[in-house]
Every structure is written in structure tokens, then in C-alpha cells.
Amino acid sequence: MRRIIIALSVTLLSVAGLNAQTIKIYLKDSDPKIFEIAQIDSIVFSNDTIENVVGEEIYSDDYNEANIQAYISGLYLNLIKFETAQLYLEALRTGRLNDEVMAYEEISPDCNAIRETWIAGYSTVNRCNALITMLPNLGLSYDYKKYMYEAMIIRAFVYYNMTQLWGDIPLIVDTHIDPNISRQERSAVLGFVCNDLQYIADNVPESEFSNDLFHFRKDAVRMLLAEAQMLLGNNSQANETLQSLSHYSPIFELNLNYVGEENIFWGYQYYMREDRNNIEIYTTNMADLLLREANEYTENLVGLWNENCDVFHSVYGYWAALKRLGKAEEITGCQPYMLLMPIPSQEIMMNPHITQNPGWGTR
């Protein structure tokens, strides 16, 4: 019997060379920590369904719980690649890299950090969609919903951060992807994110979440929901969400200790955090900063965020906070159009329905 699980098989248009190819994603069940996955370079796929792909190749016990747990571990590897690329990109924008790097790489539609963050984001989203779509249709005997919810949270985290970076972005919610997909308004993307997270926060008991610091737990879901609500301008809702935190510390981190170099964005690895410490995403300190902002207690709030960056060199949420507080241009010296990142030029070449952000068209 084949010891693999196919998550997705699609026709891919590569942003690197615009060459069509067919790929498959596999999981090894020999070791739940080992995850083999092919590179996905674009959001443009065929409309093959999971059922059409699977055919007769997959046996039912390939979907045992250990394999699904391994798939979730793989999603966190994808998330690490996305988040290390995002943190590097934001450090490039906020000037928190050394002068040599700042002189070497400039943010533009052709910038490597832009392309890699975009690719890592949609690679993670598409793999989350594959699991979310597949699990309810397999007739599994064990409780699969907790894994589906975890994939939904990871997808929501990526979508929130991508729309924070780029504004309007393509919204893909299942494995049926229109090759002519266009960008959805930020409010629609955030509405989708908030609906998923609110449902999970309201209906999934604490016991369904992992006790592992390196997996999303309920307080991390609440903090992510509050971030999305604040980006929508709903500070009162964010305050209510944050008031429900249990405030155990730390809340959520990404574990870099056992991750291969291929899963960490090169710029982050060589220019930001050579010590390979974990990435603190949601902490009680950040919860306090968000709560102050939600309650309009903004005096010295930027200074407190700056203190965090002085300690950790680059901290999750800093660039988003500067923009929400209206201080990004003052602190970083960027122009107004630079508050949104440019869409990768390769993506626009592949799909003319995806437009460029204002100010970046000829850069």
C-alpha cells in the first residue's frame, strides 16, 4: 500500500518562467515530522477538484489521523516561510536592516522579497484550502474538525497579513481557482477572515486546541481576530475581543529550532535572526499594546512598539501598527503610496486581471 497522501494536483503556471507543469503534493507517514511538498509559484491553477485528482490512487487509511497531523505540521512549515519573508520585507520598509542590505535591495514589483512573500502566502493558502475542502468528504471515523479549524486559522492569519501588506488581493477559498481571478477589496477579505475566526472563537471549545505553544490556541485566534477588526476600523469590536483573552504567556510562537534552511526566507536567516530563535507572534505584551490602541490610549504607543523592535530587532505587528496609528510615513520616511506593497510584476504578467497598486506601475 502506498504510504502517501495526495493533497492537491494542479496545472501550474510558474511565475518564474511561465511554463505549465503538473505537480502533486505528498506526505510521508514514516515520520510525522517529515513533510515533502512541491513548490507552488503562483495562484493560477486549473479547476481540478480533489475528487478528480485522487481517483483510485489513494487508499482510505492514507487519511489516518497521524497523516493529517503531519499535514498540519507541514502547514506550519509553509507559515514559517511566509512569516520570515514578511518580517524581512517589513524590516526593509521600516529601515531596520543594516546599511549594506538597505543599499542592496529596494522594494519594487521585481523585488525578490515581494515575490517570495507573495508566493509563500498563496502556497500556504492553497494547501490550507486543500485540507479544508477534503476532510469533510472522507467519511473519517475520528474527529477531523479540529484539524480543519486549525487550517482555517492558518489561512486567516496569512490572508490578514497579505491584505495588510497589499490591500486588495485575490481571495481563494477552495480548490476551484479561476485562472482569471481578480483582486477582492480589502474589506471583503477581512470580512471572510473575521467570519471564520469569530465562528471558531465562539463555537470551538478550548479543549479542541493544541496545548503546544507552536500551534494556534484560542487566545491567538482572539488576537488575530482583533487585528483584523482594527484594520477594518472596528476598534470597539477589537476591544471586546481582546477583553476575552485569558492572558496566559506566551501565546503563540513559530518554532525555528528544527526547521531546515529551505523553510526560512534567506533574507531573514542571514540578515535578521542568525541565532535561529523562535519568532514571537502573539504575546501578552502585544495584547496590551493592541488593547491600548483599541481603547484610543495612543500616547507613547509608537514608542512602546519601538522598544519591542529594539529588543527583538524586528517584531511581528510593528509595520501594521505604524500604519493604523498614522505614523508610518513619519517614522519610516516612506511616501503615501508605499503604505501598500507592490504586486509582484510576474503575477501581473501572468494574469492581466490582477492590477498593480497605485504608484508602483512604472517602478
What CATH number corresponds to the domain at position 181? Answer: 1.25.40.390
What is the three-class DSSP state of 12? strand
> Cell numbers at residue 11, please?
496545472
Phi, psi values for residue 90, rounded to 5°: -70, -35
Average pLDDT rounded to a whole number, residues 159-171 = 97
How large is the average pLDDT for residues 92-110?
75
**Which of helix, strand or coil describes residue 2?**
coil
Q: Is residue 355 part of a domain?
A: no
Any idea how long the chain is? Answer: 363
Residue 270 lies in a domain: no
pLDDT higher for 152 or 280?
A: 152
Q: What is the CB neighbour count within 10 angstroms for residue 187? A: 13
> What's the whole-model pTM score?
0.83
Side-chain-side CA neighbours of 64 within 13 Å: the count stands at 10
Task: Establish if 21 belongs to a structural domain.
Answer: no
Total domains present in the chain: 1
**What's the rounded Cα separation, in Å, for the pair 352 and 44?**
12
pLDDT for the residue 262 = 72
Q: Using CA atoms, how far apart are residues 274 and 261, in angstroms rounded to an integer?
A: 11
Asked whether 177 and 44 are in contact (CB, 8 A), the reply is yes
Fill in the amino acid letter for 228: A
In a domain, 236, yes or no: yes
E strand intervals along 135-196: none
Residue 103 lies in a domain: yes
What's the pLDDT score for residue 21? 30
Q: Which of 44-53, 54-63, 330-339 has the highest mean pLDDT?
A: 330-339
Strand-pairing partners, residue 252, are: 282
Residue 2: pLDDT over 60: no
Residue 269 belongs to a domain: no
Residue among 315, 252, 348 at smallest CA distance from 86: 315
* Residue 295: pLDDT over 80: yes
Give percent of the chain with pLDDT exceeding 70.
75
Residue 110 placed within a domain? yes
Q: What is the structure's pLDDT at 313?
A: 61
Q: Would you say residue 311 lies in a domain?
A: yes
Domain range for 161 is: 64-254+280-350
- Of 197, 243, 175, which Cα lies nearest the Cα of 25? 175
Q: pLDDT grade, residue 250 (50/70/90)? A: low
pLDDT for 170-205, tens place per residue? Answer: 999 988 878 889 999 999 999 999 999 999 999 998
> Is the model's pLDDT at 353 over the cut of 80?
yes
Tell me what the mean pLDDT of segment 256-282 comes to.
Answer: 70
